[in-house]
Structure 1
Amino acid sequence: MSLISQEEFQKIANFKGENCVSIFIPTDRAGKEVLDQKDKTYLKSSWDEVKKRLEKEGISEDKIEAIGKPIEELINDPEFWRHQSDGLAVFAAEGFFEKFTIPVNFEAYTYISKEFYVRPLAPVLKNEGRFYLLAIQQDKVDLYEATKHSIGPVYIEDLTPERLEDRVGYDYEEKHSKHKTQHNLSGQSTTHGYDAANRDEKNEILRFFRAVDKGLHEVLKDENVPLVVACQDYLFPIYKEANSYKNLYEQVIPGNPSDTNMLGLHDKALKVMEPQLEKEKRNKLATFSELPPEKTSTEIHDIIPAAFEGKIDTLFLENRAEVWGTYDEENRKVETKEEQSDDATSLMNLAAAKVVETGGSVFLIESAFMPEKASKLNAIYRYS
């Protein structure tokens, strides 16, 4: 499931209007918060706040109603609120409305200006931390392609057997049931291992997993990204024995994959793979400190023009910080302001949008971990 494409991002980033409203809220995938409609209430209160600000600025009731109509419809759509991820981004203006449900735990934020606020989405666009996720059971096999911020199914039905019986024969289920009954009567548990009595069962599962591995080879043969497996603990050692893919991730996503949906599996995968997925960010931070001064910058008066020129490879933005001001592209002149106004916009938002547009990477960094903490923007240049 592609959560937001480069084209969608650019459409939002390039939109200009008199009253562009951006709303970000954290949301819940399931649980009591969903039943209590907490997320719906959160969006309603955010929209109420925006309406008050628009009214205070003298925007007519008709224009506010036009901007808010799709937001009100979303608030009152019960089906929408049953299928959330970690965050919701809403963009609304007269004649324009877009929403994105994304596995990013946004901090609540509202923004009104002549452009939309895309900075929180910028890290989502980078295809960092790409990996495959294999959810495997004895009666079901699913493969997903994922990044830190997206996941989607990979079609493998013609490549792998769907269930163990398809590989080892339809007498398996009868034999397995009989074998399981015998063990239950004897009081011996077979959950976490295989003794001589159930060695045949393990061998049949191994044959099945080898058939799955052979089919997956057609998808993974030219890949060099991790394959993380979701399965019950006792099955993982058998799958490791069957596996031939060189980048099998050593840590399993435990539990029965059927106990959750695709987004739930993605969430579990991110927890297991966090050290791997943060590797690119760590490498970029280390690179910043190793480069000569002419290959980096901490000056906003240099970074904004460089972003427009496509000069920036990596941009670090201090999370929860803001810099207001204006940029005269023709004269390459940056002017900072104390606060937002009709003339002063978010320069950090502007920089993020341009770096994404020109193929660079954007990372939101907590203040304590910024390479140069005295500046809210740090940049690595592609060229001096």
Structure 2
Amino acid sequence: MPILTKEKFEKLAKFTNKPCVSIFLPTQRLGKDVLEEKDRIQLKSQWKKTNEKLRETGLSQEKIDKMGKPLEDLLGDGDFWRHQSDGLAIFMADGFFEKLTIPVNFESFTYIGEHFYLKPLIPMFSRDNRFYLLSLQLDNVQLFEGNMYSIGEIDIKDLIPERLEDRVGYDYEEKTLQFKSQNPSIGDTTMHGQGAAERDRKNEFLRFFRAVDKGLHEVLKEEKVPLIVACQDYLFPIYQEANTYKNLYTKPVPGNPSDYENILALHAAALDVLAPQFDKEKQDKMNQFRDMNPARTSTSVTEIIPAIFEGKVDTLFLQNREDIWGKYNEDMASVDLQDEPNSDNISLMNLAAVKVIEQGGTVYLIEKEFMPEQDSKMNAVYRY
């Protein structure tokens, strides 16, 4: 599953046209609904309603048909509809079309404006749930970047030796088997009574892992997110000794990476191990909101939006499945709140979320009962 990169997110965020159409659709991975093509039928219905809304804005049917041609082609692509995830997001404008199949269960929703509506994608860019996964085998090393919803491989072939043999200079397979059979459950990196051959073998592993660590430094040197290692148990203590990255996760993904059916299964196993860390960071942020000096927090939309544009907001909590409509005048730093969406206003939640993500902050979509301050749909923690 290709990862939705921040670069692609920022490209969508910066795109402007009139109109920009954003369509979100819940989809099914398998089962009767897939066989009956209910997702395709639902999109067709949603596009028909969007057609009507676009005509109400004064757009000609000719221009609507031109803009919608890629979507009509998608509706006819039977193979596409047989390979879905949990949600489908479509972004379209005159001369622009982007579709994203991602494991987030959206509600059906269409937004027409001068910018794309990206708030439902925000969980994929929460800083707290991003991580690196190192798949570490003696004959194959891979690095992945992931989050709660997706994972993608990073090309590190020019940075590290791919195999232990490439580093130590001779065939290692027979010695590896001997080392493993004599050391089935090594709990630390100190060898006790195993003899010179085993000590040499462990040192070969250590040399290889130090070379891997050195190469990873080029990717990880500015990072602060967890690096979790998937490897056989007896290798992890040795990699810990070689590692210099400060945020190496203390527990590995259990088992040999090659035993997992595919990268999605390995991704799921990594999330199981990382779950306590992610839950803790989110809870820490919520506790921070409650415990911090009131001058460093806010629940007022008219205060928070200007503060975001000043770069003051570190963490933003938004009530999930809700929105706030209105206008923002950046020159005057003024917010005009309105009760309903119309052709002249925008989603202030979308504006706020996209801006905070662009600035490197953290955004959480939270159900009402878990919001730090439940009386407001928008809560913020300031950097200063």
TM category (shorter chain) comes to 0.7 to 0.9
Query: Is residue 323 from structure 1 mapped to residue 319 from structure 2 by the alignment?
Result: no
Secondary structure of the equivalent of 1:216?
helix
In the superposition, relative to structure 1, how do residues 25 and 204 fare at CA in structure 2: closer, same or farther (>3 Å)? Answer: farther
Q: C-alpha distance in 1, partners of 2:4/2:161? A: 27
Quote the offset at 1:264 in angstroms. 4.0
Query: Is residue 228 from structure 1 mapped to residue 228 from structure 2 by the alignment?
Result: yes
Quote the offset at 1:251 in angstroms. 2.9
Secondary structure of the equivalent of 1:321?
coil
Across the aligned residues of Structure 1 and Structure 2, the Cα RMSD in angstroms comes to 4.0
Match in the other structure for 1:353: 354
Report if the CA contact (8 A) 1:213-1:243 is conserved.
no
Q: Which moved more, 1:292-301 or 1:338-347?
A: 338-347
Report if the CA contact (8 A) 2:165-2:172 is conserved.
no
Quote the offset at 1:160 in angstroms. 3.2
In the superposition, relative to structure 1, how do residues 317 and 278 fare at CA in structure 2: closer, same or farther (>3 Å)? Answer: same
What amino acid does structure 2 have at the position aligned with 1:90?
I
Question: Can you list the C-alpha shifts for 1:294-326, whole angstroms capped at 9, x where unaligned?
Answer: 221111122223233333222110111122233
Structural mapping, 1:336-375, within 5 Å: 336-375=337-376
Secondary structure of the equivalent of 1:317?
strand
Quote the offset at 1:280 in angstroms. 3.6
Match in the other structure for 1:185: none
Q: 1:51 aligns with which of 48, 52, 56?
A: 48
Quote the offset at 1:19 in angstroms. 3.6
TM-score by length of 2: 0.76
Quote the offset at 1:166 in angstroms. 7.8
Structure 2 residues without counterparts, runs of 5 or longer: 187-193
Match in the other structure for 1:69: 69
Q: C-alpha distance in 2, partners of 1:267/1:80? A: 24
Match in the other structure for 1:110: 109
Quote the offset at 1:117 in angstroms. 0.8
Quote the offset at 1:133 in angstroms. 1.8
Structural mapping, 1:16-35, within 5 Å: 16-26=16-26, 32-33=30-31
Quote the offset at 1:128 in angstroms. 3.9
Structural mapping, 1:52-201, within 5 Å: 52-55=49-52, 58=55, 60-77=60-77, 87-102=87-102, 104-114=103-113, 115-148=115-148, 150-156=151-157, 159-160=160-161, 162=163, 169-170=170-171, 172-173=173-174
Q: C-alpha distance in 1, partners of 2:363/2:272? A: 22
Secondary structure of the equivalent of 1:142?
strand
Match in the other structure for 2:252: 252
In the superposition, relative to structure 1, how do residues 129 and 309 fare at CA in structure 2: closer, same or farther (>3 Å)? Answer: same
Quote the offset at 1:218 in angstroms. 0.7
Q: C-alpha distance in 2, partners of 1:201/1:277? A: 42
Secondary structure of the equivalent of 2:72?
helix
In the superposition, relative to structure 1, how do residues 279 and 202 fare at CA in structure 2: closer, same or farther (>3 Å)? Answer: farther
Secondary structure of the equivalent of 1:243?
helix
Secondary structure of the equivalent of 1:336?
strand
Q: How many residues align?
A: 363
Report if the CA contact (8 A) 1:161-1:211 is conserved.
no
Quote the offset at 1:91 in angstroms. 0.5
Quote the offset at 1:93 in angstroms. 2.0
Q: C-alpha distance in 2, partners of 1:52/1:86? A: 22
Query: Is residue 219 from structure 1 mapped to residue 215 from structure 2 by the alignment?
Result: yes
Query: Is residue 267 from structure 1 mapped to residue 268 from structure 2 by the alignment?
Result: yes
Quote the offset at 1:331 in angstroms. 4.2
Q: C-alpha distance in 1, partners of 2:117/2:12? A: 9
Q: C-alpha distance in 1, partners of 2:122/2:133? A: 24
Question: Can you list the C-alpha shifts for 1:64-101, whole angstroms capped at 9, x where unaligned?
Answer: 32232112333444665677665432111222212334
Report if the CA contact (8 A) 2:26-2:108 is conserved.
no
Question: Can you list the C-alpha shifts for 1:208-237, whole angstroms capped at 9, x where unaligned?
Answer: 633431222213565765432223xxx313
In the superposition, relative to structure 1, how do residues 228 and 78 fare at CA in structure 2: closer, same or farther (>3 Å)? Answer: farther
Secondary structure of the equivalent of 2:234?
helix
